[in-house]
């Protein structure tokens, strides 16, 4: 207890207050400098009042000045891009270096996690590279195109010689199954 001009003040040192809050002495000095807490005239701290001020004047990493400042609204905003790459856009510039660092760290960690996920899925055989997928698609398209182009020339004489509807059906079903087997073999030969 400290006496100042006949008034009793219940104050503790900055170091003792920091210990009671489980923080550093520097954090308490910073709170005083940012006017989040008010020391007694003799420089000591009233723990009860300081705790109330600390809770009331501390806003999730912002100083009192930043938290009470009205938000800046841009004059014109463009709509957000559609689709996108799945990677967060560049964060807006902030005067708070801790917030800027945390946003940049979050973007970096998100990128690393998505890259690791893609690498895992590629190694597990769930994904292939886009260039390889394009090659597979072109190869598959050529196989199907060639087989379908030859289909009428191969089937027309057989159908013309058939005498019944059941025989036509058997010919068409057999040729269709042969075409499907040929495509399946081409796929397995290509390693799909």
Query: Pick from 102, 127, 152: which residue ends a domain?
Result: 127
Residues 51 and 19 in one domain: yes
Mean pLDDT of 79-86: 52
Position 149 scores a pLDDT of 86
Position 144 scores a pLDDT of 82
In whole angstroms, give the CA distance from residue 185 to residue 187: 5
Residue 123 included in any domain: yes
Residues 140 and 104 in one domain: no
Query: Pick from 127, 147, 181: which residue ends a domain?
Result: 127
List beta partners, residue 62. 59
* 18 neighbors 54 (Cβ within 8 angstroms): no
Q: Is 125 left (phi over 0), alpha (psi -120 to 50) or beta?
A: left
Residues 155 and 176 in one domain: yes
Q: Report the domain count for the chain.
A: 3
Token pair 């769930």: residue: 126
User: Residues 123-168: pLDDT tens digits?
Assistant: 887 887 888 888 888 888 887 888 888 888 888 898 899 889 999 9
Residue 60 included in any domain: yes
Residue 169 included in any domain: yes
pTM for this predicted structure: 0.34
Nearest in space to 86 (alpha carbons), one of 102, 101, 107 = 107
Residues 122 and 135 in one domain: no
Position 2 scores a pLDDT of 44
Residues 21 and 58 in one domain: yes
Residues 134 and 161 in one domain: yes
Residues 164 and 180 in one domain: yes
SS3 10: coil
Averaged pLDDT of the chain: 79
Residue 80 included in any domain: no
Query: Pick from 75, 98, 127: which residue ends a domain?
Result: 127
Residue 72 included in any domain: no
Residues 134 and 122 in one domain: no
* 13 neighbors 22 (Cβ within 8 angstroms): no
Residue 104 included in any domain: yes
User: pLDDT grade, residue 1 (50/70/90)?
Assistant: very low
Residue 55 included in any domain: yes
Residues 19 and 39 in one domain: yes
Residues 60 and 25 in one domain: yes
Range of the domain at 41: 9-64
Q: Does residue 3 have a pLDDT over 50?
A: no
Residue 1 included in any domain: no
User: Residues 15-52: pLDDT tens digits?
Assistant: 999 999 889 999 999 989 988 899 999 989 999 999 98
């Amino acid at each position: 207890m400290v006496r100042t001009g006949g008034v009793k003040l219940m104050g503790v040192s900055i170091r003792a207050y920091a210990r009671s809050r489980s923080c550093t002495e520097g954090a308490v000095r910073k709170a005083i400098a940012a006017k989040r807490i008010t020391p007694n005239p003799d420089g000591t701290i009233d723990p009860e009042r300081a705790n109330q001020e600390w809770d009331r004047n501390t806003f999730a990493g912002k100083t009192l000045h930043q938290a009470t400042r009205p938000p800046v609204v841009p004059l014109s905003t463009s709509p957000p891009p559609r689709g996108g790459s799945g990677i967060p856009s560049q964060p807006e510039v902030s005067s708070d270096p801790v917030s800027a660092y945390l946003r940049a760290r979050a973007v970096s960690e998100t990128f690393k996690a998505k890259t690791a996920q893609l690498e895992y899925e590629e190694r597990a055989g769930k994904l292939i590279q886009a260039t390889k997928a394009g090659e597979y698609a072109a190869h598959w398209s050529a196989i199907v195109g060639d087989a379908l182009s030859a289909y009428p020339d191969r089937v027309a004489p057989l159908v013309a010689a058939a005498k019944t509807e059941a025989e036509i059906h058997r010919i068409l079903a057999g040729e269709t199954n042969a075409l499907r087997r040929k495509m399946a073999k081409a796929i397995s030969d290509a390693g799909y």
